Every structure is written in structure tokens, then in C-alpha cells.
Structure 1
Amino acid sequence: MIIDTSLEGFKLRFAEEKDVPLILELIKELADYEKMLDEVVATEEDIYESLFERKVAEVVIGEYQNKPVGYIIFFHNFSTFLGRPGIYLEDLYVKPEMRGKGMGKIMLSFLAKLCIERKCGRLEWNCLDWNQPSINFYKQMGAIPMDEWTIYRVCDDALKKLAMRFDE
């Protein structure tokens, strides 16, 4: 399904199975921009399984004149306080040469519209502290930083050790 936008030549579409190589390529481009390319261990098989077999996240591809220029990847979370689901934006990426044309605004506003349609209470995401252009963009779009929250992560060996504690 092609979704027309207000920007001539720019369209959105939900990713299909054939897009797996493209999705991984865009993920790597974003990681390179964020100086984290060495942390990308995902494979095409991982992306396929997660998105199209287990369906734990969704991807929308942004195309300008029928060429992919960006993507958003998101999934549902849940707010116990609201008693409603939310959408968590994992990635929003527009190729550097296409920035400043309004595509990121369109993709973020599309996701907000999807939130409303799906009766979600929130749209949330993280942003690297050093990424001032993105911080400025998000604030311009009405986002408020949640300074009182700290993200915690357990992964790799620590995740395995934590899981083993269940059987102790």
C-alpha cells in the first residue's frame, strides 16, 4: 500500500519481506551516522524473523521519486498508567543528502497519526545526547525530553546471568 504525502514525489509504504536487505542497509547507514556501526550484529535472517515471522516491529519506508531515502521502525509498548498501548520509535532515518526537505517531519507526523488511529496514548523514542540536530528537530516537532528518566539495559552475558537467577 502506497501512502501519498504532502511532499511531491515523496511516498511512504509499509515494508514487505523483499525489503529485508534494504532495511538492514538503512540500519547500517543510521548506525554509521551515530558512530555505532561496529555494534550492528543483525543479519538479514534476524530482520526477517523479527519483522515478518514474529512481527515484533513494523517498518515504513520513505521513497522519493520511487527510490528509498529513509525509514522508521517502531513497535507497540504499553503504559500501565494510561491503560493504553503506545508506540515506541526505534529508528527514524533520512539519508543525509535528502535531509532538510521535510521528509523526517512527514514520517514522524505519520507515526503520530498512526498512534491516534490505533488509540495509543504516547509516542516515545530515545535520542543520543550529542545529536544536537536531531534534538533540535524533535523539540521543533513538539517533543519534550524526559530528563527524569534513566534508561537501563541488560544484554549479552549480563542478560544470561540474570536469566539464570530465575532457576536458583
Structure 2
Amino acid sequence: MNKYEIIIRKAVESDSDKVWVLMKELAIFEHYIDSFAITPEIVRNSGFRKTPPDFYCIVAEHGDEIAGMLEYYFLPYTAQNRPAIYLKELYVDNHYRGQKIGEKLMNALKEEAKQHNCTQIKWTVAPWNDSGKRFYERLGAKENTEWLSYEWSI
């Protein structure tokens, strides 16, 4: 198959195992594999068997392979009284990089945001991930320096 046979679509339950593999690869890439606690069954239950699901997922399909995935969820309430989308994970398999799959996934997310009347899409990027930052800036995204990111581990 050539690089032009990529289909961007919403994930379905039968994609759970393949999506999990990419989630695990992302955990390795982002250096949190030691705390990675997701299983294919968790992906199935949290993303496809719950109503509403804990997350939504868009995939890039190449034949019977999942070449990339993007996971997101909705932030239903904002100061603008319109929802926003939080992009949780974006990952393209190493073998498929350089084919604009990440851009296609992001554009699909942008369309999803428009369909749900969202005001914006938000996400975080690791400070050391220079290629990720360049990718997002190339799409026209801007770094938000007005807010600091905090977390509270429990």
C-alpha cells in the first residue's frame, strides 16, 4: 500500500487493541511507561462501552493497521458558555511519519470541534518535545503563556 491510502475515521471498539499499542508507544516516547496502567480492556470499557465515554478517539487507518491515533474529550463548560476540546494524546507510528497523518488527525479534530460548537482545542506539550512544538506551530497553534500548568497527585 502506498502513503495515500490513509483513511481518517472515528475509532470503533474493535480498534481497542491497536489503539492501545499506540498509547503504549506514546508512553515510551514521553517517558512515562513506568506508570502506564492502561490495558486494551480499559480502552474498550472507557472509550466504547461507557455512555458517555471517558474519551473519544480518531484513527488513521492504513489497510488493517492503525497508523496513528488522536484521543480527546470535551470540556463542557467554559467562560464563553460553549464547550472546548482537550486533546489528550496524538501519536503516529514511526513507520508512518512524514506523510502528514498528524496534520490529518488534527484537521479531523478541528472539524469535530466545529460540529460541537467548541471555542477552542487545548493541549499540553512536553517542554523537551521540540518536533511536537514545531508541528503544532506549523498548523497555526500558539503557545499559551498566560497560564501555568499545575497538577495535584493524590
TM norm. shorter chain > 0.5: yes
- Note the C-alpha offset of 1:80: 2.5
- Correspondence for 1:16 among 12, 15, 37: 12
Q: Which has the higher helix share?
A: 1
Write the letter of the residue equivalent to 2:96.
M
1:152 aligns with 2:150: yes
Query: In 2, distance between residues paired with 1:96 and 1:143?
Result: 23
- Note the C-alpha offset of 1:78: 3.3
CA RMSD in angstroms, aligned pairs only: 1.5
Write the letter of the residue equivalent to 1:60.
I
1:93 aligns with 2:91: yes
Q: In structure 2, the residue corresponding to 1:87 is in which secondary structure?
A: strand
Q: In structure 1, the residue corresponding to 2:105 is in which secondary structure?
A: helix
**In structure 2, what is the equivalent of residue 63 of structure 1?**
61
8 Å Cα contact 2:8/2:104 also seen in 1: no
> Number of paired residues?
150
1:50 aligns with 2:57: no
Moved over 3 A (4+): none
The structure showing larger relative contact order (alpha-carbon pairs under 8 Å, at least 6 residues apart) is 2
- Note the C-alpha offset of 1:34: 1.3
Write the letter of the residue equivalent to 2:117.
K
- Correspondence for 1:119 among 117, 120, 131: 117
**In structure 2, what is the equivalent of residue 33 of structure 1?**
29
8 Å Cα contact 2:60/2:69 also seen in 1: yes
Q: Which has the larger radius of gyration?
A: 1
Query: In 1, distance between residues paired with 2:64 and 2:75?
Result: 32
Q: In structure 1, the residue corresponding to 2:4 is in which secondary structure?
A: coil
Write the letter of the residue equivalent to 2:74.
H
- Note the C-alpha offset of 1:57: 0.9
Residue identity over aligned pairs, in percent, reads 27
Query: In 1, distance between residues paired with 2:137 and 2:38?
Result: 30
- Note the C-alpha offset of 1:121: 0.7
Write the letter of the residue equivalent to 1:120.
C
Structure-1-length-normalised TM-score: 0.83
Structure-2-length-normalised TM-score: 0.90
Q: 47-56 vs 128-137, which deviates more?
A: 47-56
